[in-house]
Amino acid sequence: MPAPAIRKLTVVIPAYNEEATIADTIERVKTAEVGPLDLEIIVVDDGSRDRTREILSATPGIRTVFHERNRGKGGAVKTGFRAATGDVLLIQDADLEYDPSDYKTVLQPILEGRVEAVMGSRFVFERPHFFFGEAKSPFFTHYVGNLTIIVLTNLLYGNAATDYEGGYKAFTKRLVDSIPIEADGFEYDNELICKLLRRGHRIEEVPISYRPRTYEHGKKIAWTDGLRMVWTILKWRFRRF
């Protein structure tokens, strides 16, 4: 099947209790370099209990979808992907850990027709340092968890990626629509990537920047999410879909 024409980018921003950063995130996305593409921004408020909804309702130039209850990051992403009208879909976290100035790098392999799926890697050019003070990488436990996911996914799926948990991933909408996803939590990305690899799709890695925040500043992922990710990787290596 020939590669689809790429004319519009949809950036999906899942948000849950992000009143401190959501407005700044949206403004940065609006000014990101996306080349010749039209830009659509969809923010999915995943049942926030703070002022996130109020801020979104007063923000022009975006489409918003509101979940009445919290469904998880994956549930929010799925809602955004279903609502998207773009030819390419990109996930943007609402917490400013990732910089929209990387969009050009993330989109390039798709715009050049090399692949229909791209993963941003925090570890392409430098090894991670443990997160203390001004360091650039996750907590020690997050690093160990990331390493486990990298090794397990590469081993089971015959891949050679350096980072599966980088916040920037982009796909053609055609590709996303062809893959059924069950997960609603942080393991959504793992299920999608594993199923793409199972079906033989090549996923290109590109370098991205990363500025991790602490739990004190709103980081939400927990060790239980890591266990679900590992189970997801194991499960979809063998389960039919």
Give 33-72 pLDDT, tens digit per residue: 999 999 999 999 999 999 999 999 999 999 999 999 999 9
Q: E strand or H helix at 204, and its extent?
A: strand 204-207
**What mean pLDDT do residues 219-225 have?**
72
Task: Check the CA dihedral 78-85-62-31 and report its sign.
Answer: positive
Q: What is the pLDDT of residues 113-128, one digit of tens each?
A: 999 999 999 887 555 5
CATH no. for 8-238: 3.90.550.10
d(CA 211, CA 122): 10
Residue entry with tokens 């020690």: 140
Task: Report the 10 Å Cβ neighbour count for 183.
Answer: 22
Q: What is the pLDDT of residues 78-114, one digit of tens each?
A: 999 999 999 999 999 999 889 999 999 999 999 999 9
**Residues whose CB falls within 8 Å of the CB of residue 94, separated by 6 or more in sequence, listed in order:** 13, 14, 15, 16, 18, 21, 22, 25, 43
High-pLDDT (> 90) share of the chain, %: 77
Counting Cα atoms < 13 Å in the Cβ hemisphere of 167 gives 25
High-pLDDT (> 70) share of the chain, %: 87
Residue 157 has pLDDT above 50, yes or no: yes
Q: Which residue has the higher pLDDT, 4 or 204?
A: 204
Please write down the HEC assignment for all residues of 20-69.
CCHHHHHHHHHCCCCCCCEEEEEEEEECCCCCHHHHHHCCCCCEEEEECC
The CA-CA-CA angle for residues 102, 104, 105, to 5°, reads 70
pLDDT of residue 218: 46
Residue 131 has pLDDT above 80, yes or no: no
Confidence of residue 17 (pLDDT cuts 50, 70, 90): very high
pLDDT of residue 172: 98
Alpha helices in the chain (DSSP H): 22-30, 52-57, 73-83, 103-111, 140-157, 173-177, 188-198, 223-238
Counting Cα atoms < 13 Å in the Cβ hemisphere of 149 gives 28
Q: What is the pLDDT of residues 173-218, one digit of tens each?
A: 999 999 999 999 999 999 999 999 999 999 999 999 988 654 444 4
Domain ranges in the chain are 8-238
Structure tokens at 97: 């850990």
